[in-house]
Amino acid sequence: MMVLSLPPEHQPTVPATANLPTEFGTFTLRAFVDPIDGAEHALLSVGDLTKAHAPLVRIHSECLTGDAFGSLKCDCGPQLRLAMRTIQKAGVGAIVYLRQEGRGIGLFAKVQAYHLQDKGYDTLDANLALGLPADARTYGIAAEMLHSIGVDSVRLMTNNPLKRKGLVEHGIHVEDRVQHLAGQGRHNIRYLQTKAERMGHILPMGGV
């Protein structure tokens, strides 16, 4: 497989770095600016990643409704919190937090899609009805952020094969995929079924 890489002028800026105490423990917080579109991404880490063999890593796309507002329409908030707890418990690992709201379509379009979901569309068809892609996210910037802190091999906490593919295409070796389940419930069962049945996510739907 051909490995893709960003040219030097398109690689993320040197990050701003600070300690971030949280309810789960203290993380090192790095903020990056993507020189292509000016988007600001974050990386939370614990421990010395350069000395860890294939540390646990979660690639998490921004979800304002789930991460901040506690929406039950998705599993994003619980997945983020599970990743924070898991990495603290492991003592080493990272969360790459990408500003790709609504699978990359943005907050405004995401709320429009929510409106269509209220009318009976599933999450994929709602995007398509708006003339938008089912999933517009890319992972080159995530790989570059990991490379910049000396991480080239990971154990990836995800249920989405496209995240693994996106990292591998940009030179990150994924030694293992770690299933990452949280936040399943009656309000998001159709959302999860759509991810499993139509978008290729690896989810055990029997227990929802």
Tell me the per-residue pLDDT of 17-36, one tens digit each, with 9 for 90 and over.
999 999 999 999 999 999 88
Instruction: Establish whether 135 is a catalytic residue.
Output: yes
pLDDT band, residue 190 (cuts 50/70/90)? confident
Parent domain of 127: 106-136
DSSP state of 206: G
Written in H, E and C, the secondary structure of 44-56 is: EEECCHHHCCCCE
DSSP state of 134: S
Task: Examine the domain organization and report whether 30 and 131 are in the same domain.
Answer: no
Share of the chain above pLDDT 90, in %: 62
pLDDT band, residue 206 (cuts 50/70/90)? very low
> Which of the following is catalytic: 135, 176, 177, 190?
135
From residue 134, alpha-carbon distances to 124, 158, 165, 166 in Å are 5, 18, 17, 16
Instruction: Establish whether 155 is a catalytic residue.
Output: no
Rounded to 10 deg, the angle between the 140-148 and 161-169 helix axes is 60
pLDDT band, residue 208 (cuts 50/70/90)? very low
| Three-state secondary structure call for residue 22 | strand
Residue 124 pLDDT > 80, yes or no?
yes
The reported pLDDT for the residue numbered 145 is 95
Dist. CA 194–CA 44, nearest whole Å: 29
pLDDT band, residue 197 (cuts 50/70/90)? confident
119 falls within a domain? yes
> Which of the following is catalytic: 30, 103, 137, 164?
137
The reported pLDDT for the residue numbered 9 is 52
What's 58's domain CATH number?
3.40.50.10990
Share of the chain above pLDDT 70, in %: 92
pTM listed for this prediction: 0.87
Task: Examine the domain organization and report whether 67 and 110 are in the same domain.
Answer: no
Task: Examine the domain organization and report whether 78 and 168 are in the same domain.
Answer: yes
Task: Examine the domain organization and report whether 130 and 141 are in the same domain.
Answer: no
Dist. CA 1–CA 109, nearest whole Å: 34
Residue 203 pLDDT > 90, yes or no?
no
9 falls within a domain? no
68 falls within a domain? yes
Task: Examine the domain organization and report whether 88 and 25 are in the same domain.
Answer: yes
pLDDT in tens, 51-75: 888 999 999 999 999 999 999 988 8
118 falls within a domain? yes
Dist. CA 94–CA 59, nearest whole Å: 9
Residue 60's CB is within 10 A of a number of other CB atoms, namely 24
Task: Examine the domain organization and report whether 43 and 56 are in the same domain.
Answer: yes
